[in-house]
Every structure is written in C-alpha cells, then in structure tokens.
Amino acid sequence: MKAGASLETKYINLKEKIDNEKIKEASQDILNGKLVLFPTETVYGIGANALDEKACENIFKAKGRAQDNPLIVHVSNLEMIKQIVEEPNELEKKLIKAFCPGPFTIILKAKDIIPRSVTAGLDTVGIRMPSNEIAHKLIEYANVPIAAPSANISGRPSGTNIDDIINEFNGKVASIIDAGAVDIGVESTVVRVINEKVRILRPGKITKEDIENLGVEVEVDKNILGKYDGKEKVMSPGMKYRHYAPNTKCMMIYSKDEEKMIDKIKETANGKNVLIICKDKNYDKYNCKNIIKMGNTLEEIAHNIFSILRKVDKYNVDLVIIEGMQKDGLGLALNNRLLRACEYNYIEI
C-alpha cells in the first residue's frame, strides 16, 4: 500500500474479458459508500453513490478537488434521470434522445435528492449516461446514480489508462477496474440549454457540428479557446482551474499550411533543449533528439494526448513544442485541452 493511503485497494482486471460478478462486487463498494475507479468511453472516472453526501465528499479529498467544482452524475437509464432532475424542456429532451448514452453531459435543474457536495451548491447538475459496457453495468447493478469526475489528481490530465493513474489512487479507493486504454481519450462534451440555444461549456467527441445536425442553434462558450480573465462568473466552474499543464513549459504552434508549421517549429526549436510532439507523418521531418508521435487523425490524437502529456516532464527539456491542429470537429476539444496544457502559449501563422 502507498504511504499515506489508508485502504486496501482491490484490483479488478477486465482487460481481456468482462466479468459481471466482479462488476457486481464493485457495485457493492459503491453501495457501501466507497469509491470505485472505473472506465468510461471518454476517460476513467472516480465514482461514488451520488445520493451519499459523505461518499461524494471523499471524491473531493481523493482528487484534491476544489470544493466549488461540481461533480457530474452518471446514470444508466432514463428513469434515473427523472429521479434526480426536474423535467427537461423539449430541446433538452431532444439532446438526451440524440446523444445518450454516449460521451455527452447535459446540465439540468437538480432535485433536492442530489447532495450539496455533488452540486457544489449550484441548483443544476450535469447528467451523463455512459455507453461503456462496464460503466453501464456498474451503475445498473448498484441501481443508484454514480457521481464521478475524471480520475486524476486535480490539475493533471485525466486518466485514460490505469498505468498512468494507479499511483494517484492506490490506497484511496476500494476498487480499481482496469479495462485497458479507453476508447475516446478526452472527456465528454458538456452542454447547457440557455435561451433555446445549446451552449457548449466543454467540447468533446460529440461536436458542435453533430449538435447542429439536429437543426438547433449552438454557441461555443468563449472560455473554450479564450483564457478565463478571472472577472466574470463562469458557466462551468471547471473552466477556472489550471488543468492538463505539465511542469515543463509547453507551447503549441499551428498553421493551416503544414510545411509552414513545421518550419516555424524547427526555427523555434533551433539551439534549444526541446521535446517535439508531432503527427506520425511528420516525424521524419524533424531532426530532434526528443520527439513523441501523437497519431495522425484527430481521433488518434485524442486517444493518445493525455498519456503523452503525463510523460513530458520525464524528458528534462526546457520547452515542449506541440503541433497544432484544426479547430473544427473533435479538433475543438483538442485545442481546448492543449491550449490549457500550454497555458495559452500559442502561435498561429
């Protein structure tokens, strides 16, 4: 057991094959007020019974999470949604019908049954119905909604495989369900309906374009690509906090013209002790000692990026330079996470 940790953590290996009995055991931990680390299709979550105030307080302790940053609540069916939120309006129902289950979180008006430690005192709560089979079964067997933020110490990139986060949570949770690397790799799209429009508060795999295809108006919150200025009230508390940034200084360089981008990165790297994070297809174009490939497509980059960000401090370089990417589709989510990892140190030419 890890120093400072107080629990014997059960390790449940479901990498090769799903074992319902093992998931049932973990659902008992949830019902006993304990924490369970479990996979979803987006990132790993650290979950507790969303109706158990004390258990949810322990999530904040385990993550070192700010008390004013609310948790999202995971459900396995529509009945559970009814139990915890007021009746959604027509547009909200349309979104639920289109994107649940899936990598999608919708902010709705919370009923009093949801404890304050989950909502952080807001009158709303984020609802998400994961499509991942293990997450779905865990909720279904427990038969209670599960509050779960991403599994990472606050400020660090979200955990996308157990190897990256086991040291952060061993001894702090009752069980860890290991299902290998998650599918998507970035957290769910968070939306809220405001004045008959859908506002994206956090971009994800369900894109602005996917939502627009329903024939509805979509706005992207200005804090998604802009830096929070500390003045106005944010629509989503998570936007205020430092997130994803390694200790090493990072910057992102982008041009729609790939050759121009590569030249600018080479020029910036010249004579410096740097690490370059680039698309696989550009790997041979850099003559750099430290280089990490992140995939070629937006999907591949999403899948790999958090694990890569967790590795960069090991390189002992002065600067990390990341190739930028398009801002539409899944690229909006990647730009949102990477801009924060770079603390908005961004050049576009």
Handedness of CA 207, 209, 215, 218 (dihedral sign): positive
Chosen from ligand TXA, Mg ion, none, partner binding at 237 (C-beta under 5 to 8 Å by type): ligand TXA
Distance CA 286, CA 294 (A): 14
Q: Which of these segments, 146-154, 162-170, 217-225, 295-303, binds ligand TXA (CB under 6 A)? A: 146-154
Give, as ranges, the residues between 201 and 220 that touch ligand TXA (CB under 6 A): 201-202
Burial, 121: exposed, middle or buried (Cβ in 10 Å; 0-12, 13-18, 19+)?
exposed
Which is closer to ligand TXA, CB of 45 or CB of 246? Answer: 45
Q: Which of 117, 126, 144 is nearest to 189 (CA)?
A: 126
Q: Which of 65, 183, 69 is nearest to 122 (CA)?
A: 69
Three-class DSSP category at 31: helix
Contact 183, 190 (CB under 8 A): no
Give, as ranges, the residues between 93 and 152 that touch Mg ion (CB under 5 A): 150
Contact 146, 48 (CB under 8 A): yes
Closest residue to ligand TXA, based on beta-carbon distance: 238
Q: Which of these segments, 13-21, 65-73, 290-298, 300-308, binds ligand TXA (CB under 6 A)? A: 65-73
Residue 70 in the binding site for ligand TXA (CB under 6 A): yes
**Binding-site residue total for ligand TXA (CB under 6 A)?**
26
Closest approach, Cβ 5 to ligand TXA, in A, equals: 21
- H/E stretch holding 220: strand 218-220
Q: Which of these segments, 70-78, 217-225, 260-268, 320-328, binds ligand TXA (CB under 6 A)? A: 70-78
Distance CA 117, CA 96 (A): 25
Residue-wise DSSP of 223-290: TTTSPP-SSSPPSSGGGGS--S--SS-EEEEE-SSHHHHHHHHHHHHTTS-EEEEE-GGGGGG---SE
Residue type (1 letter), 2: K
Closest approach, Cβ 284 to ligand TXA, in A, equals: 35
Residue 107 in the binding site for ligand TXA (CB under 6 A): yes
From the CB of residue 190, how many other CB atoms can be counted at a distance below 10 Å?
24
Closest approach, Cβ 316 to ligand TXA, in A, equals: 29
Which is closer to ligand TXA, CB of 102 or CB of 331? Answer: 102
Residue 115 in the binding site for ligand TXA (CB under 6 A): no
187 vs 48, 130, 174, 321, CA distance in Å?
18, 11, 23, 23
Give, as ranges, the residues between 125 and 144 that touch ligand TXA (CB under 6 A): 125-126, 128
Closest approach, Cβ 306 to Mg ion, in A, equals: 10
The pattern of x and - marking residues 142 through 161 that bind Mg ion according to CB under 5 A reads: --------x-----------
Which is closer to Mg ion, CB of 39 or CB of 88? Answer: 39
104 vs 10, 127, 317, CA distance in Å?
29, 8, 37
Give, as ranges, the residues between 11 and 40 that touch ligand TXA (CB under 6 A): 40
Which residues of the chain form contacts with Mg ion (CB under 5 A)? 150
Which residues of the chain form contacts with ligand TXA (CB under 6 A)? 40, 42-43, 45, 69-72, 105, 107, 122, 124-126, 128, 148-150, 187-188, 190, 201-202, 236-238
